[in-house]
Amino acid sequence: MSSITIYHNPACGTSRNVLGLIRNTGEEPTIIEYLKTPPDAKTLKSLIAAMGIPVREVLRQKGTPYDELGLSDSKWTDEQLIGFMLEHPILINRPIVVTPIGIRLCRPSEAVLDILTRPQLGSFNKEDGEPLINAEGHRV
């Protein structure tokens, strides 16, 4: 079993880039396609607490029902916002990566590099062609 878990959306370029960076260490993570298998309330609360970021920072706006649900309104409590994420998993920003070093919302994708235990094994370019890792496995 892998020591890395990624809450992944294969339709998301950032999520695919993060998965590529994880695999570039030679490790195959546990992949949870959270739109198909959403976390339960306890898991989601635990992930958010471990990341140490406000619940609102985990909410995704683009391509979600964020605006139609009026989630920008400050009247919503953290519990209510988590409830919306459980009801509409697309509201959970991605990817969230869990490693032995920590848990992080990896936006931008290179944020994952800070929590990987293994070095990059070779060059890596983002899907848009932007180089991130050189042939020696170092950040560009």
The catalytic site residues sit at 12
Residue labelled with tokens 């920003």? 93
Is the bond leading into 95 cis (omega within 30 degrees of zero)?
yes
Contact indicator for 109, 133 with CB cutoff of 8 Å = no
Residue-wise DSSP of 62-113: TTSSTTTTTTTSTT--HHHHHHHHHH-GGGB-S-EEE-SS-EEE-SSGGGGG
Q: Which helix (DSSP H) or strand (DSSP E) does residue 16 occupy?
A: helix 13-23
